[in-house]
Amino acid sequence: MTKRLLINKLAIMFSSLMAILGLAFLAWIIITLLLKGSSALTPYIFTHDLVENGIRNLLWGQFVLAGLASLIGIPIGLLAGIYLQEYGNHTKYATFIRDLSDVMMSAPSIVIGTFIYAIIVIPAGHTNGWAGIAALFVMMLPIVVRTTDDMLSMVPVELREAGIAIGAPKYHVVLHIILKAAKVGIMTGSILAFARIVGETAPLLYTSGSTIYMETDLTQTYPSMTVSIYNLATMPDEKLVSLAWAAALVLTLVVLMLNLLGRFLIRDKRL
Amino acid sequence: MKNKMEINDFSFTYKGAKAPSLKHISLPVECNKVTAIIGPSGCGKSTLLRSMNRIHDLYPGNIYDGEILLHNKKDEPSQNILDIKKENEFIKLRQKVGMVFQKPTPFPMSIFDNIAYGLKLSGQKNKRKLQELIEKSLHKVALWEEVKDRLNDDARGLSGGQQQRLCIARVIALKPEVILFDEPTSALDPLSTLAIEEMIFELKQDYTIAIVTHNMQQASRVSDYTAFMYLGDLIEFGATETIFIRPTKKQTEDYITGKFG
């Protein structure tokens, strides 16, 4: 009896300790970012491009790349997820796609970057915005597919049957009942998927590249915040290094806020 | 016309299963009466009920055998619902044969829209008429007084018993000819159960009702006829009084007296 209680106490202590350890590293990262990044974090950098020691073009570029990738990736992923859960379900084909998505989700991002480099950047002759978008799209697609699939699978089967039993065609039930019931979950999944790709470096390294100038033509080398952070961090000029810290801080805060928004939506979820 | 539906020599095999889940069932469902189907878990009672509006067809590959006749009103000829193949015919069937499930299944929308959904699908576009039909069906399930001031609230905010009554209102708004109840009170508290039982008793004036229930007291309280099923066979069918007081088969008697099941 007492032995059981003792083991229980030890297990709680041990797991709490590990949780604190994990949190400590997270706090360490954020504190370091704050300390090193805040000195260069001035209003100036938001109104000037990298050529003038600002990050305006980088912010623009990063969000255009991730935003357009989401604009293409979310609808396609959503439709694929709906197919998997509502129409394919346990057929061999659907199981195959589901497994493939799982594999794709854990594919190293640098591999995806290299793949896009081979099929888009080399034929085009130089890094460009579309290639960056394509790489981020490939990264994002399986995430959206699987979250949609999972969120739809949490909608009770009785709700589908009730819709059918009232004389609704299946597509109508999916569109007006099932998607509505899973709306919050799917929205949250999409936000988290966006948050996931907006901070990626490896897929952009050889695809969009990065530039110190403002750019709006997606067929040209496109500014990317993450790639520039990578470049600036190894510069001898201390000013540029602290600019990289500031950019990293901004990016971290954005991703953190997107994640918090996602969690908040989940917490608010009904059903 | 005495019977609303007639199940004749009906067998049903689930997709991929070796043995049929229902074997040669023959059962009449009389007009404006309540027919209860009882039996232990796995006896096939829900499978039988779910064949009567072909909801099984949501999952393709099952095998039907025999016939289930639906006698239409007056002039129209009777129809073997097992012959239905086209989606629009399925939709028509399900508007005629409505279903209430075990767990309350409010749609993720307002109380008003929960009922309006099926009505709009069946072609009712007139706003005033919609309002009228919705109020009427809410009155019928004795929910109107409780929800009349919050028709635009999310239906998922209602209590379990209220949700179930809303689901019944949703079905009767479509003016079906038959209503199938699949253990409609097994997720509800005793008071809500009582309310639903009383409602079923009143509904039979206008509708033909078939109900699957685990609860034998419930069957004896609400039904006119009772069918006892065991392992995919229909063991005994008759007037509820006869089945409960003087069953002819030993299996029925054992089940009803609680010796097994």
SS3 A130: helix
Residue pairs between chains A and B whose CB atoms are closer than 8 Å: 69
Architecture of domain A36-267: Orthogonal Bundle (1.10)
Statement: residue B261 has pLDDT above 70:
no
Among partner residues A162, A170, A270, which is closest to B105 by beta-carbon distance? Answer: A162
Q: Between helices A129-153 and A92-105, what is the axis angle to 10°?
A: 130
| Band of residue B113 on the pLDDT scale cut at 50, 70, 90 | very high
Nearest residue on chain B to A88, alpha-carbon basis? B59
Pair of tokens at residue B66: 């025999």
Among partner residues A161, A183, A270, which is closest to B101 by beta-carbon distance? Answer: A161
Q: Please give the pLDDT value at position B1.
A: 58
Return the domain boundaries, chain A.
36-267
Statement: residue B238 has pLDDT above 60:
yes
Phi, psi of B178 (to 5 degrees): -125, 145
Query: In b/e form, how buried is each residue of B36-73, taking b as 16+ CB within 10 angstroms?
Result: bbbbeeebbbbbbbbbbbbbbbbeeebebebbbbbbee
| B249 shares contact with chain A (CB less than 8 Å) | no
Q: What is the torsion angle, in degrees rounded to the nearest 10, for the CA atoms of residue B95, residue B96, residue B102 and residue B103?
A: 20
> What integer is the mean pLDDT of B179-185?
94
Nearest residue on chain B to A271, alpha-carbon basis? B156
User: How many distinct helices (H) and strands (E) make up chain B?
Assistant: 10, 10
> Which residues in B lie closer than 8 A to residue A271 (C-beta atoms)?
108, 156
User: Can you say whether the dihedral through the CA atoms of B35, B36, B39, B44 is positive or negative?
Assistant: positive
Nearest residue on chain B to A172, alpha-carbon basis? B121
Q: What is the phi-psi region of residue B156: left when phi exceeds 0, alpha when psi lies from -120 to 50, beta otherwise? A: alpha
| Partner-chain contact A162 B122, CB within 8 Å | no
| A154 shares contact with chain B (CB less than 8 Å) | no
Pair of tokens at residue A249: 């801080």
CB A135, CB A203: distance < 8 Å: yes
| Band of residue B2 on the pLDDT scale cut at 50, 70, 90 | confident
| B1 shares contact with chain A (CB less than 8 Å) | no
Q: Please give the pLDDT value at position B257.
A: 86
Alpha carbons A199 and A207: distance in angstroms, whole number? 15
| A164 shares contact with chain B (CB less than 8 Å) | yes
Q: Could you count the other beta carbons within 10 Å of the beta carbon of residue B156? A: 16
For residue B110, how many C-alpha atoms fall within 13 Å in the half-sphere facing its CB? Answer: 11
| B91 shares contact with chain A (CB less than 8 Å) | yes
- Single-letter code of the amino acid located at B64: Y
Among partner residues A167, A170, A177, which is closest to B108 by beta-carbon distance? Answer: A177
| B98 shares contact with chain A (CB less than 8 Å) | yes
Nearest residue on chain B to A182, alpha-carbon basis? B108
Task: Name the minimum distance, in Å, from the CA of A264 to any CA of chain B.
Answer: 20
Tokens 């199938």 found at: B180
Q: Please give the pLDDT value at position A270.
A: 47
Which pLDDT tens digit goes with each residue over B124-148?
A: 889 999 999 999 999 999 899 999 9
Burial category of B189 from C-beta neighbours within 10 Å (exposed 0-12, middle 13-18, buried 19 and up): exposed
Statement: residue B74 has pLDDT above 80:
no
Q: Please give the pLDDT value at position B28.
A: 94
Among partner residues B58, B103, B174, which is closest to A166 by beta-carbon distance? Answer: B174
Alpha carbons A74 and B19: distance in angstroms, whole number? 44
**Angle, CA of B34, B40 and B45, to the nearest 5°:** 45
In the stretch 174-213 of chain B, residues with CB closer than 8 A to chain A read: 174
Q: Are strands B208-212 and B178-182 parallel, antiparallel or unpaired?
A: parallel
| Partner-chain contact B118 A167, CB within 8 Å | yes
Q: What is the ipTM of this complex?
A: 0.88
Nearest residue on chain B to A167, alpha-carbon basis? B91
Q: What residue ranges define each of the domains in chain B, with the CATH number in brackets?
A: 3-256 (3.40.50.300)
Best A166, A175, A180 residue to mutate vs chain B (most B CBs within 10 Å): A166
Task: Name the minimum distance, in Å, from the CA of A181 to any CA of chain B.
Answer: 5
Contacts of B66 (CB under 8 A, 6+ apart): B7, B8, B9, B10, B11, B24, B25, B82
SS3 B229: strand
Q: Please give the pLDDT value at position A266.
A: 74
Q: Low-confidence residues of chain A, pLDDT below 50?
A: 270-271
Which pLDDT tens digit goes with each residue over A58-71?
A: 999 999 999 999 99
- Single-letter code of the amino acid located at A258: L
| Partner-chain contact A166 B101, CB within 8 Å | no
Nearest residue on chain A to B119, alpha-carbon basis? A166
| B14 shares contact with chain A (CB less than 8 Å) | no
